[in-house]
Structure 1
């Protein structure tokens, strides 16, 4: 996320890592599938894909994708979340940085997939959303994918009201050279209907 006082930092004070990890551990222990995002991405990728988990949090998705044979780099501005990720998977690459300035992290371009799950886009600092989308598009190879999941109403957000519409998001993607491929209502692949409260979007960077 963005360090310019993003909405996540306003909600948590940048100290949510341990509690966030405990929450998903409880869900897993109760039998919930906590790997839906990773399974969704894996189904769209060739083996050993190169993945950027943008706003990776505690690393839950990136760690699972690595277990599935992919090469994942995680980036987040919340040091408390990255501390958990580094403890759980110390050999993976975890970078502390602002998604609006990915170019400052020295990332080698050519990623097969950039992932922004977990309401990353709605929780960015206001006014940085288009810049973040541009930065994510810039690290993709031609034909690479941007996959996002975001709440579109208060029921699907840790916020009292939505901060991003799909029209706005698609406009930012178009400006960044991305084309919408498909849209779903869940990470399980349920079809999206207009007006739905959650959207999983698959955009791609066209080949020349």
Structure 2
């Protein structure tokens, strides 16, 4: 495991348990927790292999599995992974650092980073995280990332980082339910694609 994530250093003791309990309560109350999964489901073929990167307690990956996809969820927080395994058996849930991600098996058709994952990774690892996640995708695989625009990771930096690792931006929306992007939006959902020239996990994009 590499540098501690902001999730570990910038939140208080017991935050992960509070987070798990919060979403369990929301699920019990019937809240709609599957918006991200609906978007991913529309972008991939039936039975796709999907990486839920920064999966937290598993709500997005579980909703994708319910739609017939094969899901592997990864998070650096063992408390969240334990909750995912308890609440959502079926998908594979792994404790791993996204900045060092190197998963065995076939490449993924798609990956998703929801829940402000990019603003919680370790400082100065954003580009490396994007590179490692993108490297898990097949050629022409899709990557969808959503985070708040006021959480310390400027969109201009994000766009520079995705371009640097060879990802092509296809769409940007203001919400997971595809409301149009606007410059003053406080959230951004970006749809990216791994091109045919590839993304290399330890070096520059392309070859």
After TM superposition, the structure 1 = structure 2 runs for residues 89-100 of structure 1, keeping only pairs within 5 Å, are 89-100=88-99
How many residue pairs are counted as aligned between the two chains?
197
Regions of 4+ moved over 3 Å: 11-18, 28-31
- 2-side partners of 1:74 and 1:16: how far apart? 20
SS of 1:163 mapped into structure 2: coil
CA contact (8 A) 1:14 1:80 kept: no
- TM-score, normalising length: structure 2: 0.89
- Structure 2: any 5+ residue segments left out of the alignment? 198-207
SS of 1:192 mapped into structure 2: coil
CA contact (8 A) 2:65 2:90 kept: no
After TM superposition, the structure 1 = structure 2 runs for residues 1-208 of structure 1, keeping only pairs within 5 Å, are 3-12=2-11, 15-103=14-102, 106-153=103-150, 162-207=151-196
- 2-side partners of 1:4 and 1:86: how far apart? 25
- CA deviations on 1:106-158 (whole Å, 9 max, x unpaired) are 433521111111000011111111100000111111110111010012xxxxx
RMSD, aligned α-carbons: 1.7
- CA deviations on 1:77-128 (whole Å, 9 max, x unpaired) are 100000101112334211111000002xx43352111111100001111111
CA contact (8 A) 1:16 1:80 kept: no
- Structure 1: any 5+ residue segments left out of the alignment? 154-161
SS of 1:9 mapped into structure 2: helix
Q: Could you tell which deviates more after superposition, 82-91 or 193-202?
A: 82-91
CA contact (8 A) 1:57 1:82 kept: yes
- 1-side partners of 2:36 and 2:92: how far apart? 19
CA contact (8 A) 2:2 2:100 kept: no
CA contact (8 A) 2:169 2:191 kept: yes
SS of 1:121 mapped into structure 2: helix
CA contact (8 A) 1:62 1:72 kept: yes
Instruction: Give 1:23 shift.
Output: 1.3
- TM-score, normalising length: structure 1: 0.88
- CA deviations on 1:163-191 (whole Å, 9 max, x unpaired) are 21111111111111100000011111101
